[in-house]
């Protein structure tokens, strides 16, 4: 895909991020046309390079599928920032950059001599964006987090799962993604401010704080009603409410019964569908759709109150129907009768079977020099004039050293070779073929 109206064309981002949250920010900026230069060192690379590999791929620093997706659209250089000459080159790059990003623990950039005041002196008007667990100020600024631990600190984990048991957590590292998107729109806002005023600024993002709006209903409930988010029957899990005489509002809007997930044919861990029925008319439509089996006409199921009082039995009966049928078959049938129903989807379902995502063109195919053509998660935004898109696969280690140090900074090929041999652009004691033999992180 090509697009001449790249909204961030001409913006250069010096990218020190690693893992997921920071990489998500710069991935989005790259998709809008920014030139993102990812800085790494082969001996301490971004851990995502060796975290998740595709099934048939031989593990190595340059062919990790997860890293390839996270760093799509970016350039990559290698540079020893702990060496005096390496830091000098960083200063030179900062002078030619509009944005610098990192998501280290609080204090790391300061130890490098790159606090915001210094960055502003090196490159007046620069925008500095940091993401850390709890921000760069306050009592707990030194605490480190990952996405899942940040979710726990925010309260999200505590309010998840089924009633009367331990929390389930959110499965994926959702706050890495939320913080990453927060970082992207914060940088874009700062760029707009700079365009108007000529001034840069410092953006300090706390990963834990980005979760607060996701726990808003629980916070409001405690503030107004003094109710704990862990109490008998709450959270209600997959159900709208638990079976009891005086149901509590579960912050999900309209109350339904049945309201659950049900096993379907196939026996796989994702062979489930979800069904939610909110009115007696919908219940009658459901009965008709599945052929009016005997149990659907029991008096105890004829009213909402009866269905709520007998949820366990009702769910078993519904599952006796769904377990004999494919999840998509159940979904299509019930949706055709205007019943809320969805198939529980795994990655393959989303990428191959989902007709809506396919029609929207979410996934993009890109060529990788080692992996060939692979599918990538596109940017979930549609814009009529400045559509974001992925321009290239993730960079090989040091792939763009010649371009960055030659074209941008003006060094000759001989000078770049000398910097490489002196251990500034590549470890002196690490042959380049060693990067092919790296143990997977997960």
Q: Please, which residues bridge with residue 341 across strands?
A: 275
Q: Which of 306, 296, 342, 160 is nearest to 236 (CA)?
A: 160
Which of 11-20, 232-241, 425-434: highest mean pLDDT?
A: 11-20
Per residue in 239-281, pLDDT (tens digit) is 887 665 555 656 667 889 999 999 999 999 999 999 999 999 9
CA angle 42, 46, 51 (to 5 degrees): 115
Calculate the alpha carbon distances from 361 to 327, 352, 373 in Å: 23, 11, 16
The pLDDT of residue 30 is 98
First-last CA distance in the chain: 33
Tell me the percentage of the chain whose pLDDT exceeds 70.
94
CA quadruple 302, 306, 308, 314: dihedral, nearest 10 = -60
What contacts 274, CB < 8 A, 6 or more positions away? 238, 260, 261, 262, 340, 341, 342, 344
Per residue in 145-173, pLDDT (tens digit) is 888 899 999 988 888 887 778 888 887 78
The pLDDT of residue 251 is 61
7 — pLDDT class (breaks 50, 70, 90) = very high
DSSP 8-state secondary structure symbol assigned to residue 187? H
d(CA 312, CA 154) in angstroms, rounded, equals 32
The pLDDT of residue 307 is 95
Calculate the alpha carbon distances from 66 to 52, 101, 112, 252, 348 in Å: 5, 20, 29, 34, 15
The pLDDT of residue 435 is 61
Q: Minimum mean pLDDT among 10-24, 42-56, 308-322: which range?
A: 42-56
Helix residue spans in 96-214 (DSSP H): 108-111, 116-122, 147-154, 174-197
**Domain residue limits, the chain:** 12-213+362-422, 258-263+271-344
**What phi, psi does 429 have (nearest 5°)?**
-100, 20
Q: What is the pTM of this model?
A: 0.90
CATH of domain 258-263+271-344: 3.30.1540.10
Best CATH choice for the domain 12-213+362-422 from the list 1.25.40.10, 3.40.50.10540, 3.30.70.270, 1.10.3720.10:
3.40.50.10540
Mean pLDDT of the chain: 91
The pLDDT of residue 433 is 67
Q: Do 38 and 395 touch, CB atoms closer than 8 A?
A: yes
Question: Cβ of 318: how many Cβ atoms within 10 Å?
Answer: 22
Residue 286 three-state SS: helix
Record the tokens describing residue 93, joined without a space: 């790059």
Q: Which of 298, 312, 299 is nearest to 257 (CA)?
A: 312
What contacts 373, CB < 8 A, 6 or more positions away? 365, 366, 367
Q: Please, which residues bridge with residue 263 across strands?
A: 272
Burial code of 226-235, b = ≥16 C-beta within 10 A, e = fewer?
eeebeeebbb
d(CA 213, CA 224) in angstroms, rounded, equals 17
Q: Which long-range contacts (CB under 8 A, 24 or more apart) does 300-308 make?
A: 304/257, 304/279, 304/280, 307/257, 307/258, 307/283, 308/241, 308/243, 308/247, 308/257
Calculate the alpha carbon distances from 404 to 43, 74, 179, 328, 392 in Å: 20, 12, 28, 50, 17
């Amino acid at each position: 895909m090509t697009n001449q109206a790249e909204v961030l064309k001409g913006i250069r981002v010096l990218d020190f991020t690693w893992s997921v949250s920071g990489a998500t920010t710069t991935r989005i900026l790259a998709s809008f046309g920014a030139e993102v230069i990812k800085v790494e060192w082969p001996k301490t690379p971004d851990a995502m390079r060796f975290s998740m590999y595709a099934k048939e791929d031989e593990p190595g620093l340059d062919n990790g599928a997860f890293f390839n997706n996270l760093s799509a659209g970016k350039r990559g250089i290698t540079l020893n920032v702990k060496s005096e000459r390496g830091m000098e080159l960083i200063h030179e790059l900062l002078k030619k950059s509009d944005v610098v990003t990192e998501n280290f623990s609080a204090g790391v950039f300061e130890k490098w001599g790159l606090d915001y005041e210094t960055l502003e002196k090196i490159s007046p008007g620069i925008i500095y964006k940091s993401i850390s667990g709890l921000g760069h100020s306050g009592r707990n600024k030194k605490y480190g987090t990952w996405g899942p631990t940040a979710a726990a600190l925010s309260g999200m984990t505590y309010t998840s799962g089924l009633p009367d048991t331990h929390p389930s957590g959110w499965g994926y590292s959702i706050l890495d993604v939320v913080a990453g998107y927060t970082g992207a729109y914060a940088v874009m806002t700062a760029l707009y401010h700079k365009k108007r005023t000529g001034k840069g600024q410092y953006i300090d993002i706390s990963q834990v704080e980005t979760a607060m709006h996701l726990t808003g209903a629980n916070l409001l409930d405690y503030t107004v009603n003094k109710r704990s988010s862990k109490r008998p029957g709450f959270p209600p899990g997959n159900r709208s409410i638990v079976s009891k005489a005086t149901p509590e509002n579960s912050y999900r809007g309209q109350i339904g019964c049945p309201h659950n997930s049900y096993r379907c044919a196939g026996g796989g861990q994702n062979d489930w569908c979800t069904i939610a029925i909110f009115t007696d008319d919908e219940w009658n439509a459901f009965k008709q759709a599945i052929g009016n089996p005997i149990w659907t006409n029991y008096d105890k199921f004829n009213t909402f109150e009866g269905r709520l009082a007998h949820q366990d039995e009702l769910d078993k009966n519904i599952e006796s129907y769904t377990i004999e049928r494919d999840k998509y078959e159940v979904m299509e049938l019930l949706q055709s009768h205007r019943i809320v129903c969805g198939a529980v989807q795994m990655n393959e379902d989303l990428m191959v079977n989902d007709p809506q995502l396919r029609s929207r063109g979410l996934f993009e195919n890109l060529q990788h020099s080692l992996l060939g053509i692979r599918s990538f998660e596109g940017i979930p935004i549609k814009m009529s004039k400045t559509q974001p898109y992925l321009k290239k696969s993730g960079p090989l280690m040091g792939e763009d050293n010649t371009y960055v140090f030659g074209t941008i900074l003006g060094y000759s090929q001989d000078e770049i070779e000398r910097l490489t041999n002196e251990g500034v652009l590549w470890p002196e004691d690490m042959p380049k073929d060693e990067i092919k033999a790296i143990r997977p992180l997960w």
